[in-house]
Amino acid sequence: MTPSFRLRGQPSGRGSVVLYPGTYQTIEDALRGVGTKITAPGEIVWIEDGVGNLVLPADQVRARLNPDKR
């Protein structure tokens, strides 16, 4: 079985959780996809595996996308 990853998010940290369309074969691909999915300031996004298990929490996604702001 090929691993797959998907993005979930929450606009401005509130409201309903959103499952973004599409899957990614690697975590790095998923991280690149985050930049195209975020549409609002304060939106948080995390990465799950293909069955919904948390792989990378939102704070780690943010840290990997903005390494200078650790």
Taking only the tens of pLDDT, the chain with its 70 residues reads 677 999 999 877 677 888 888 999 999 999 999 987 776 777 889 999 999 999 999 999 988 887 776 5
- CB 21, CB 8: distance < 8 Å: no
Alpha carbon distances (Å) from 61 to 1, 23, 29, 47: 25, 16, 12, 8
pTM of the complete model? 0.84
